[in-house]
Amino acid sequence: SPGPPPLTPPMAERRLSRGLPCRGLCVLAVVASLPLASRLEGARGGRPLSELSACHLWSPTSAPLPGSRRARDVAVCSSAARARRRDVSRAGAAPGLSTLGFRAGPPDPPMELDVPTVELHRKYHEATIQYTMENMEWAQSKGYQLDAGLSTQETEHLWRAQRERLFRWPRLHDQDVHVVALGGPGPQRFCRGGASPEDDARACGDPGDHVFVISLARRPTRLKHALHQLHAQGVSATIVDAVDGDTVLYQEDLERVGVAPLPGYMGHKNHDILLTTGEVGCFMSHFTIWQHMVENNIQSVLILEDDFDLQEGFSERLGQYLEEAKGEDWNILFVGRSPMEGDWRRISEHIVEPGYTLWTVGYVMRLDAAQRLVDAAVQRSFAPLDDFFSVLMGRGQDAAYNDQVHGWWPYLPTREDGMPLLRPLAATPPLVMPYVGSMFLSDTAMLRKKTRYIEDLPLTSSSDGPRGVAAGAG
């Protein structure tokens, strides 16, 4: 099958200068040789907590091997990107939230993460390193690009179906959702207290039957794992066909559906790549559920990405944690996260107000947040979703993790009083983690043959010349 649209010489030159980073695989041996305890201890003394997350281990900013070609390419490109970002930041800078009395950063001294959260991340981190070591040849050869559960013909067929799915966005149609009833009879409930189940569910943000799992059709391996997890915990859910970023071929595709990144988006110092088609597909997939909430007046949902591992006693603990958060005014609660800084406030034994947070593997969202996101038309000015959420939460104003926050802020919606749109809480320790090895099947964690930067896409199909449909995956 034809590959992605061909690169013109200027586009190819830009891509070469960026080096198509391999998300840290080239430094795996270096990272693995360091005692994990020393990496985790870096969370103290003001250093960012990114060492706690496997996401950071595989980030595109992980240093390449000294003296390698990629080291030289990335050094050149990063210097130019940083210069461009400084110019954009200066041009777009706006007064921070501190003028409204909002705290610009975490407390000083910063709160340390609780021991169970650190241990859970430590376990995941070590297992990820071990998994990669055991599958090094497969990983380095990018054997993960095609799902082993699909033939080439099936992959091409699914690509064409997902291309049609792209243009049905943002609404969910019957062919895009698949209900799996794995719980007991009657309505699904997580919160157990209160005389009236309905009133209590509304008060604590219980998602009930509204559990949505976002799943790429061309990744049946991930869906199979997700269904096993749901069955083991007795959780019923609705599988939502994700928007596949591989089906975005031209910039006019995004114009047609009304989607656009933040003006001048170029990443930031800890995510030093341009916006990819995979990140666009991820954002659009989540947005379609927010839209569905608004259209159907759904008060609360649990959104999971299909690479999740539900922790022991998930259903009971989710209900317990929601009860603990009952007195708080929140509209998003992370049940899975990768903290980039210390928590801002401890609310109860299992609930905190988080700092800058990555991962969207699992979160509970209330209608208030979905309504505000949809009404603000955030799809016309967005960034990769986990960074986007954190900045909408008012995190990163100190620029410690994300040096572009003040450049983004003028383009982001706030509440009527100017305060952050999202009011976050987080479960601690997390109730959801990615399963070990799933990162290799992720369109946002790994760069593949068909990973493309939005900036590099041809403007229209006519500018791409007389070519057939670019089907398949890789």
DSSP class per residue in 394-441: TTTTT-SS-TTHHHHGGGS-B-TTSSBS--EEEESS-SEEEPTTGGGG
Q: What is the pLDDT of residue 376?
A: 97
- Provide the residue count of the chain: 474
Strand arrangement, sheet containing 345-346:
177-180, 237-241, 211-215, 300-305, 357-366, 332-339, 424-427, 351-353, 345-346
User: 113 with 355: CB under 8 angstroms?
Assistant: no
Indicate whether 114 pLDDT > 60. yes
User: 297 with 423: CB under 8 angstroms?
Assistant: no
Place of tokens 């591989």: 246
Best CA proximity match to 432, nearest among 269, 296, 275, 321: 321
pTM of the model: 0.82
**Partners of 338 in the β-ladder:** 358
Confidence band (pLDDT; 50, 70, 90) for 464?
low
Backbone φ, ψ for residue 279 (5° rounding):
-70, -35
Q: Is the peptide bond before 429 cis (omega within 30 degrees of 0)?
A: yes
How are beta strands 424-427 and 332-339 bridged, if at all?
parallel
Q: What is the pLDDT of residue 46?
A: 35
What's the mean pLDDT in 78-107? 56
Torsion of CA 302, 232, 358, 66, to 10 degrees: -160
Higher pLDDT, 87 or 50: 87
User: 210 with 202: CB under 8 angstroms?
Assistant: no
Indicate whether 462 pLDDT > 50. yes
Query: Residue 135, Cα to own-chain centre: how many angstroms?
Result: 24
CA distance 196 to 275: 46
SS3 state at 362: strand
Q: What is the pLDDT of residue 474?
A: 43
Q: What is the pLDDT of residue 186?
A: 82
Q: What is the pLDDT of residue 200?
A: 67
Indicate whether 3 pLDDT > 50. no
Indicate whether 4 pLDDT > 50. no
Q: Is the peptide bond before 170 cis (omega within 30 degrees of 0)?
A: yes
CA distance 9 to 442: 29
Lowest mean pLDDT of 95-99, 319-323, 383-387, name the range.
Answer: 95-99
Terminal alpha carbon distance of the chain: 10
Q: What is the pLDDT of residue 201?
A: 75
Lowest mean pLDDT of 31-45, 201-215, 233-247, 420-434, name the range.
Answer: 31-45
CA distances from 460 to 151, 167, 258, 464 (A): 30, 16, 15, 7
What's the mean pLDDT in 185-210? 82
pLDDT, mean over the chain: 80
CA distance 205 to 325: 9
